[in-house]
Structure 1
Amino acid sequence: MDPEGKRESVLLVRAGGRACAIPLSQVIETLRPLPTTPCAGLPPFVLGGAVVRGAAVPVVELGAFLGVAPAPATRFVLVRCGARPAALAVDSVTGVASIAGGDRTATALLGAADGGAIEALGALDGELLVLLRAARIVPDGAWRAITGQEDVA
C-alpha cells in the first residue's frame, strides 16, 4: 500500500477472522494444509514445519501471529521470506485485489510489537485490512529449528 496513490496487487486472506493482504510479489502459491510437525522452543504462533515440494518450511498460524484466536486452517499460503519459503496457515483465501495507500503512521506504533511484519493498515469494504510483509513473519531462530540451516534474510 503506497501512500502516494500507487496501487498494489495483493492476495486477500482471512486469519482469525481478520482481513489480511499479502503482496502478490511475495506469494508463491496456495495449497491445502499439510501435516505439520511441532518443534520445541518456537513461539506459539509457529506451528512447526511441513514438507512442501520436498523442502522443510516453517508454518505460521497467521491468526495467532496477529494476536487473534485462530480458526482451523483451510489453506496454506506459501510466501517468500527473503530467500526461503514459509507457509502461512489461514482461515480462507478470499481473492485478489488491487489496493491503494494505507496508513503507515499507525504501523510505527506496531513495528516493535510485530517485528516489522505489518507493512501498513488500510480499509477494504469498510473493514480494517492488515498488509503483511512476509519476510518479517518467521522469527530468525525458527529457520534453524525447522530446517537445520542458518538464518537467511
Structure 2
Amino acid sequence: MEIQQSKDSECYAAAMRMLVRREHSELELRQKLQLKGFDNALITSAIDLLIGQNYQSDERFAEDFIVMRFNQGKGPIKISAELKQRGIGCFDLSVFDWFVLAQKIRVTKYGDDLPSDYKEIAKQKRFLQSRGFGFDQINQAFSN
C-alpha cells in the first residue's frame, strides 16, 4: 500500500514539475508521463487531482497557446491544427483580427510595396499560406 502511495505522489510530482515550467494540455501531460514509465491508472488519478486543484486547465493552455502563436505571426489554420495535435478539440479563434495580422506579416517580410510580378505575388501568397492563413486573409493582405 505504501509503495502504491509513493508511486502516486511520484507521478503527481512529475506532472507538477512539468506544469511549473509551462502550461500543458491534458494530452501532453498524459503522453509525457507515459514516456516516464508511469501506469495509466496513476496518470489518470494524478491528472484528475491536478484538474480538481485547477493546476491543469485545457482552456487556460489553449488561451496561452493561441496568444503565443498569434504573436509569432501564425494563422488560424496552423494554430487550429497545432491545438488538435495537443488534444484541444475546438476553440474560438475569431477574437483575433487575422486579416490585419496577415497583412502585417506580409509587410514585415516583403515591405510595403505590393508586387506587380505574378511570380512574386505567388511566392508571397505561398508564404502566408505556410503560416496558416486562409485564402480570404491572404487576398486581403494584398489589397490596400
Fold shared, TM-score > 0.5 on shorter chain: no
TM-score, normalised on structure 1? Answer: 0.22
TM-score, normalised on structure 2? Answer: 0.23
Q: Which has the higher contact order (CA 8 A, sep 6+)?
A: 1
Larger Rg: 2
